[in-house]
Structure formats: structure tokens, C-alpha cells
Amino acid sequence: MTAIKVPTLGESVTEATVAQWLKKEGDEVQADEPIVELETDKVTLEVNAPESGVIAKITVAEGENVEVDTVLGEIEAGASGSKSAANTSSKTEKSDKETTDKTPEGLKAGANDKGDAKNDTEEGDTNEALSPAVRKIVNDNKLDASKIKGTGKDGRITKGDVLAHMEDGGNKEDIAKTPAHKAVSTHQVSNSADQGPREERVRMTRLRQRIAERLKEAQSTAAILTTFNEVDMSAIMDVRKSYKELFEKKHGVKMGFMAFFVKAAVNALKEFPSVNAEIDGDEIVYKNFYDVGVAVSTPQGLLVPVIRDCDTKSMAQIEKDIMDLAGKARDGKIAMEDMQGGTFTVTNGGVFGSLMSTPILNRPQSAILGMHKIQQRPMVMPDGSIEARPMMYLAMSYDHRIIDGRESVSFLVRIKEALEDPQRLLLDL
């Protein structure tokens, strides 16, 4: 037997939670094949099979906390499923023979019987792949999980998928197939499904707990203040309209807005070093590098991968790094080192329709820039005329212990000037 152990989880991380088993006891696995997902304070990681064989035992259930080197289960090396397959085949043949002998002649080859058996198997396999919370809702409401479209990772069914299925009346068909002797409870099930559960308790994921702790820590530690401004996005939108096709053709990545904001932020950080600094005890640590975090919303929670050395990278390279890291974050494959060491953060609530917000600091950083929705608004032009312009509100939250009001306001003005006149970014002005 070969033990399946919890690997080293990363710097300062000693504990994880078993999020989901991708295999079950008796399943054949290949060496390095993902078999279980662990959730830490920062990322979700996969544990791969140490060698080929059959999972003989699972010793830690989903939802339990584990430490480094904890034995999660055992693999019977060399079993390779052939022995198991042979046994299963033998048992199946024996069972089929017994069934055939006991079945009336007219029912031996019934196509409906084969179809029902297949459906039962498929439904059972689908239910096995569900998380405990999702499985409970499916079972309580007597739903057919095979008919629910999954939107989670690798097509897995989430709680939201189940509830949406119920709202669409998908459970009505399932209830209609309930045997006659259970028809007494149909009305009660239907009412429950129509209204949905009045209350449900779901344990917070380890990542969500960590996010909550960090946000509360930031509010409790720093003297957070937010300053606002607005930017006319016409110039940047014109640049994108003129060059987006050529840009994508040459660099293999779309020209987005985020690279403009990252570059504008770096230029402003150079002018106001206190915004790129942090407090360590009774000392101020000034950073002479510019690693900018870009907040990414994922199914697991908000993650902030870091773009390294933004002052030395082109806009194309920044866009590529953002695309790569954001993709890894959403797929749950991002490494912890990808989210460490940032000096400043940019977050974009505008993609979800936010018009204005006050972002919370990403500790130990001293400032964070919030982007918002671009919206046409009437603006008074220099000649006194009124035009509809694509405007965006900017918000910068900062630690008032280290950044004064004059610096914060001037910093945001520099970003506004650079975005409204993109040539400044090219000329480093």
C-alpha cells in the first residue's frame, strides 16, 4: 500500500481542508492523476496519485481539516484495476445469470429494463460527484442530478445550479415520476421546491474565512480613507478602437483597459513613493519596485494575483500576464507565490456594473485603486458646450497613517491626467 499524503502547502500555511475527492474507493488511478482537492487559506490545490493502482481506502472525509503529511488514503499499487475489473465482471455475469433464471420468459430481453438500469447507474454516478451540500439539496427534493446543467469547474454542479433548476420547475418532472405509494407527500415536496429552502447553513470555505479575516484586519489596523475623482475615457477608447485589431494580431492578446490603469498607476507611484510603501512596526518601508496586484473574482472568492516589475514591462506583456494569472486563478491552479509581495492593487468593480465604491486595503499595502463602470454622462466642455462623454469614477482608498490627503488627491489626479492623455504613458510624463 502507498499512502496518499498532504503535501507541503506553501509558506506559512500548515493546515488545509479536504474540499472534494475526485475519485472514490475502488477507482483505478494513474500516477500523477489528480485524486483529491485541498483548500487552504489562499488557494485550492490538487493532490496527485503518487503511483498507479487502485484507491483501496479513503481515511479523511470531505470537509475535514488536515495538516501537512496527514495520510488521506491508500493506493494499492499494481492492482491497476484489472483484478477489480475481473471480479466485477465475474460478479456481474453471475448476477445476470441468476436474474435471467428467475425472470419470466417474456421479460428477459426487455429494452425498458436495460434503459432503466442504465439511468439508475448514471444517476448514481452523478450523485457521487456532488459536494455534500449540493447532494443534500438534490436528495431532499428528489431531483435527478443528471438533468441539472453544471456551471462549476469541469462542469460540476453547484448549489446555485440546483436552485436555478428548481426555480425553472425542473423538479416537477422528477416528482411526476415518483411511485404512486409516495404520492401523498408530492404536495409537500412541490411547495418546498417552489419556495426553496427557508434557511440553509453552509460552512465557510477556508479561503472565504481567510478573506474575511484579512478584510477585518485591514479595517482594524489601518486608518482607511477614500478619495474620489472621475476620468474621461474617450482618449483610451479611441486608441483601442484604432489599434485593437493590430495590437491583437501582433501580440496575441486583446487590448484591455487594465494595462492602461496599471501603467498610469506605476507612473504615479514613482512620483509619490509613500503610496508604494508600507508600515512595519514603527518603520516605513519604501519599495523601489512596482509589483501591482490585480483583483480577480473567482468561484472560490476574491484573489489578487501580482504582476511583477510593471515598470519594465510593455502594455502587451502586462495584458498577457493579467490574462494568464486571471485564468489560473479562476481554474483554481494559481500558486501562492503568484499572490505574494504586491506593493499596490487595482480592482475593477465596473465589470459587475458598480458605479462607485470604496475598496478596502489589501494589507500590508497602503493604497488600492478602484475602477468602475464607464457610463455616458453630460459634461461641460472647455468651450462651454455640453457633450455626452464616457466617464468613469475612480476611488482610491489609502492608509492615512502614512499617506497624507495632499498626496492621495495628487496621486489620483496624476492617474486621471495619464488616462485622459495616453501619450503621457508613452513619454513617461
**Is 311 a known active-site residue?**
no
Residue 404 annotated as catalytic = yes
Separation in Å, CA 275 to CA 188, 190, 244, 335, 407: 60, 57, 32, 27, 8
From the candidates 125, 404, 421, 428, give the one annotated as an active-site residue. Answer: 404
Say if residues 218 and 225 touch (Cβ distance below 8 Å): no
Integer distance in angstroms from the first to the last C-alpha of the chain? Answer: 65
Cα 231 to Cα 48: distance, rounded to the nearest angstrom: 48
Q: How far apart are CA 52 and CA 31, in angstroms?
A: 4
Identify whether the C-beta of residue 414 lies closer than 8 Å to the C-beta of residue 273: no
Catalytic pick from 27, 251, 311, 400? 400
Q: What is the dihedral of CA 60, 63, 64, 70, to 10 degrees?
A: 50
d(C-alpha 309, C-alpha 350), whole Å: 25
Kind and range of the H or E run holding 209: helix 206-221
Residues 6+ apart with CB under 8 A from 51: 2, 31, 75, 77
Q: Are 249 and 80 in contact (CB under 8 A)?
A: no
Which among 91, 72, 90 has a CA at the least distance from the CA of 23? 72
**For residue 222, which of 344, 364, 342 has the smallest C-alpha distance?**
364
Question: Helices marked H in 47-202 — which ranges?
Answer: 82-102, 111-128, 132-140, 159-167, 170-176, 186-195
Q: What distance in Å separates the CA atoms of residue 38 and residue 329, rounded to the nearest whole number?
A: 15
DSSP for 161-199 reads: HHHHHHHTTHHHHHHHTS-GGGGGGHHHHHHHHHH--S-
Q: How far is CA 210 from the centre of its chain?
A: 14
Whether 35 contacts 22, CB under 8 Å: yes
Q: Distance of CA 203 to CAs 61, 208, 395, Å?
A: 15, 10, 33
Closest by alpha carbon to 322, among 364, 342, 292, 350?
292
Q: Max CA-CA distance within the chain?
A: 96
- Catalytic residue ranges: 400, 404
